[in-house]
Amino acid sequence: MRVYVSWNAPSRGLPRLSPELVQRFRDVSFVESFTSGFPFNQNMLLERAEADYYLLLNDDLIFLEGSVDRPLAFMLRPENKDVGMVTVKLLNADGSLQPSTYAFAGLFRTILSVSKLRELLPLDPNLFGFFSALGLGHGRSRYWSHEETVEIESCRGAYMLVRKDALRNVGGLDLRGGHETEWHMRFRQLGWKIVFFHEAEVVHLGSRTVSMDPEKDLLNLESHLNIYYKYKNGWRYASARSAFLVIYFIKYLGAAIRRERVARRVAWKGVRMIWNWPGEAR
């Protein structure tokens, strides 16, 4: 097994990671990149590596027993040859469940996500049955127990074990936006299954580096813009884009009234991104 570490924090003014520190570990390759972003750096490492399976990881994971060998054994079974990607159960630092599976969002849920209203919905186990009755349980939402191995549409990109044949067929991550969600759409379009594997788990500390970026919400906006532009028909794309413009203009006005300079700048950047899409991207 070969481990590749990409470090792009210098481009964001964070302390430099010492290559010597990383390379003290055997079979670890250190690659410094001054281009920020999950998709660029993952693609860069995928191009360098040659393997039958690739494990794409965030930098804020703690591995637990079986978190690599069990999912790999699952993919090696002959009956799972059409499984292109596996993800595992994510836990918070206190050991509680961190929901990580989703269905591809329709227009209503997309608007909830971009407006941040979705974050107001509580993660209450009492809602699991309700969302399951709506057809959104068992891998199609965050409202389920994550105690079964099931085929899913999409998941958090913190842990993605990918088969080489699938990677060659699907290609790398889209640099424009959508990141793992757009990638998952391509996997499924080309007939590769994505599976949530419940018999392995990792601790995910949760966007420690992204959370320091005042423009982090623009990544979510960019993701939805790119997905709707590539995969939705004309009226859905036009409707989503119009809704995004209203949302970000309201954010801009709110920040201006509160005299929050950074928030106002970010909101206006969002307005410009929506208006100019796809001509302008981060």
Using 50, 70 and 90 to split pLDDT, how confident is the model at 281?
very low
**pLDDT of 135 over the 50 cut:** yes
**pLDDT of 133 over the 90 cut:** no
Query: Average of pLDDT values for 94-110?
Result: 91
Q: Which ranges of 14-163 would DSSP assign to H, the alpha helix?
A: 19-22, 38-48, 69-76, 107-115, 128-133
Q: For the chain, what is the mean pLDDT?
A: 85
Query: At residue 159, what is the residue type?
Result: Y
Q: Which residues lie closer than 8 Å to 232 by C-beta, 6 or more apart?
A: 240
Using 50, 70 and 90 to split pLDDT, how confident is the model at 105?
confident
**pLDDT of 60 over the 60 cut:** yes
Q: Which of 42-46, 176-180, 274-278 has the highest mean pLDDT?
A: 274-278
Cβ 104 vs Cβ 215: under 8 Å: no
Q: How many Å apart are CA 113 and CA 131, to the nearest integer? A: 17
Per residue in 225-256, pLDDT (tens digit) is 999 999 887 899 999 999 999 999 999 999 99
* Residue 211: predicted pLDDT: 52
Strand positions, DSSP E, 138-214: 150-152, 154-155, 159-163, 193-204
* Residue 282: predicted pLDDT: 45
Q: What is the pTM of this model?
A: 0.83
